[in-house]
Amino acid sequence: MDVGRLEDTFLPLESKKKTGSDTIFTWYGRYLQAKALGEPAINGTVGSLLEDDGSLAVNSVVMDSLRSQSDVDFSSYAPLPGLPEYKKLATELAVGPRLASLHDIGLHSGAVATPGGTGALYLSARTMLAVGDTILFRSRRWSPYDTLAAECGLSITEWPILNEGNGHAKVNHLELESVLEDIATSQKRILSWLNDPAHNPTGISLDSEGRDLVLDAFLNCARNNPGIGVTLFLDTAYAVYADEPYGWSETIHKKFSWSEWPENLLICWGFSASKSHTIYGLRCGAIVFLHPSEDYVNRLGEVCAVTGRGTWSLAPRLPQSALISIHGSETEAHSWGEEKTRLKGLLSKRRAAFNAKMAESELPLMPSDDGYFAFIPCDDPVAIAEKAAESQLYVVPLKGGVRIGICSIASSQVERAAEILIDAWRCFEQ
């Protein structure tokens, strides 16, 4: 049969554009195949934290809590917006210790449960922009951002992830301000996703000065365009493994303790329990709102709950219940925190070794501060990934470079992985 003709018969144009498979899982499959053949393969592909023996790192406190939940919490629906206690908890986990202080200065928060952090991203794109609008990303990003934008009928514009001129090394605030103003002249609303701290795929984290510059750009845009809705969405999926997991809350509190919050500015967080609680497949997350109007925060919750109902019905109840149990117990919360600290230490040890080895070469590694990944910019990422695979290191070629999963490389293999990458880069980039 003629597949092309059948596509024309069954599929509209927007569906016919969908081709290929996920790059990350494709290269992970190649690693698994090599491992199955008995090769000494090194896994630098997946976005899951692995122990040094290659097994999935899981927080035992979370596993025990999941297994102890009632039959109702295993099997019953949750309310459409999420369990009330979970919504409160997700807000606390996303915003951090500054939440009470933000409330004290007149800001209100709310949340809606989602299937993972990806669900929170989707809700913002589907509810805060119209089909045909433009969404703002940084020039390096997790590749499913583009997929989500396409699914919501959005075009993409970018601002640079690094500043090659004078000023802050990681924030080209003049370019950011210019792009924001351009969007403000062409549509009624602005939405930008900012994956920080511990950015995927680079490991970059902004410092206090960088966060301040970014927040100022959005604040100025809102003040200069009072008829435009300006939303900054902070994707903090990897935040617990960063040195400043709640840096954005500190920056926001400092700014608005003395500065008036314009009513057309909204800040959201995307909370994900995938990494913080090592339950990737249970799809537990939330979109969290911060704004001076309590009524508007409540209205956002209603809109997002209805959108979720029409997309995935509702988020799973079981992980919500487990997180409530853990963080409602001082003993369990402490034990969870101790294990989280151990896992962060594992990541930090690997990153330090990787960065040190890379520093011995001229290879242009992007700043790699926190989280799961590192990133090598290059002209032909597929060629470098293929060359690395010849030496049994499997990484992920993305647009503009190669992503290395520090999270999945055993500590004993980190230096060897760096050496393989240096050799592969020299073959093509010199």
The position carrying tokens 């695979």 is: 389
Look at residue 5 in the predicted model and tell me its pLDDT: 77
Look at residue 428 in the predicted model and tell me its pLDDT: 76
In the chain, what are the domains? 3-59+345-429 (3.90.1150.10), 79-315 (3.40.640.10)
Closest C-alpha to 400, from 141, 178, 175, 185: 141
DSSP state of 262: P
Structure tokens at 353: 């070794």
Closest C-alpha to 119, from 303, 319, 291, 311: 311
Per-residue pLDDT of 266-313, as tens digits, reads 999 999 999 999 999 999 999 999 999 999 999 999 999 999 999 999
Question: 372 with 406: CB under 8 angstroms?
Answer: yes
Question: 398 with 407: CB under 8 angstroms?
Answer: no
Angle (nearest 5°) at CA 202 between 338 and 53: 50
In the predicted structure, residue 192 carries a pLDDT above the cut 70: yes
Q: How far apart are CA 430 and CA 342, in angstroms?
A: 39
- Arithmetic mean of pLDDT over the chain: 95
> pTM to 2 decimals?
0.95
